[in-house]
Amino acid sequence: MSADALLYYSLILTNTFLTALYLVLTSGAMKARHLSPNGSIAVIHLIAAGVLLPFWLVLAAGHAGGHVAADGGGLMGLPTLPTLAITGLVLVSVALKLLSKELQYYAYAHTDVANVTVFSAFVPILGLVSGWALLGETPGTWQVAGTVIICLAVYVQFVDVGVGGEGRRLWTISTLFSPFGRLAHSRAIQTGFASIFPPAVAAVAIKQAALGWHPLGYATMASFLIGLGALGIEAVMHRPGLAAVFRQLLTGRFLLVGLIFSAAHLSFVLALSMRDIGPTMALERFSIVFQTLLASVILKESTALPKRLILGLVMIASVLLLEWS
């Protein structure tokens, strides 16, 4: 394995584990009512921006005096897009990521972690469907098989099996339709499902912005803008919550989570800048298993843990099959 490949897979592994860890810790904090979902987004991302900013400034100052070239070249001498194009890509990706996090954090605050992370297996399927619908790319046999397996695994995750006499499991008509009932009646599960759509679109803008500017610069600016956006939403929807946000920023209770998120976000942007979007998004699904395990250890969410772990591994295998077939 080349040094470049080793670095890439190390970044992916770091990202998937740290993403799982920060989301589980954030879920626990929201369920304990330390912060609202918007407040959590604001605090974590503003801390991350503060952590990343000094590194970005030091690196930028070390290259060409830290200025932007007149021809549109960006900091650190990387191939760049025109400033207006970079600005547009940053704003589009930030808007989509903020929308996704609004939905995702609400779900994490109101249901088990495993009930939210399981939907991320659908992200590569969205890419497959959009390629078929918009570009006329016909899915191969293995890709269709991977899609079917993922859908079945998610379905089984939400099946509620009744218990009869002597602890026997009862399969009825209502059992077969129970996943659809849970989706129809649980706002948290609905928002968890909806949160997968914006990242599938945002990945393209993130990669272009990171390559056209710089991964560290993008990670810093995106964290700041997402945090600022969530802070604005909190001010409009729940103004008393602002006091809790500033209290958390000043006391540093969320500092560890912010540091973990900083490393997770930067490792993802760096990995995405090194390889194609499809394989990177596929490998990121390992977070499904990490989140399930960490939630069982940290939050004691151990209901049907063996089933959740097995289904998580099945979904990961299917996603890899879908992307690399």
Could you report the per-residue pLDDT of 211-236, keeping only the tens digit for each?
777 788 888 999 999 999 999 998 88
Asked if residue 60 lies in contact with residue 66, where contact means CB atoms within 8 angstroms, the answer is yes
For 126, counting Cβ atoms within 10 Å of its Cβ (0-12 exposed, 13-18 middle, 19+ buried), the class is: middle
Separation between Cα atoms, residue 141 and residue 58, nearest integer Å: 50
Does pLDDT of 77 surpass 50? Answer: no
pTM given for the model: 0.79
Q: Is 140 helix (H, G, I), strand (E, B) or coil?
A: coil
In contact, 71 and 60? CB cutoff 8 Å: no
Mind listing the pLDDT tens digit for each residue in 130-142? 667 765 767 778 7
Kindly list the distances between the CA atom of residue 157 and the CA atoms of 253, 298, 316, in Å, as whole numbers in the listed order. 34, 21, 14
CB 246 within 8 A of CB 44: no
Cβ atoms within 10 Å of 99's Cβ, excluding its own: 18
Distances 80 to 43, 68, 110, 207 between C-alpha atoms, Å: 31, 11, 42, 12
Averaged pLDDT score across all residues of the chain:
80
Pick from 47-51, 65-69, 154-158: least confident? 65-69
Quick check: 16 pLDDT over 90? Answer: yes
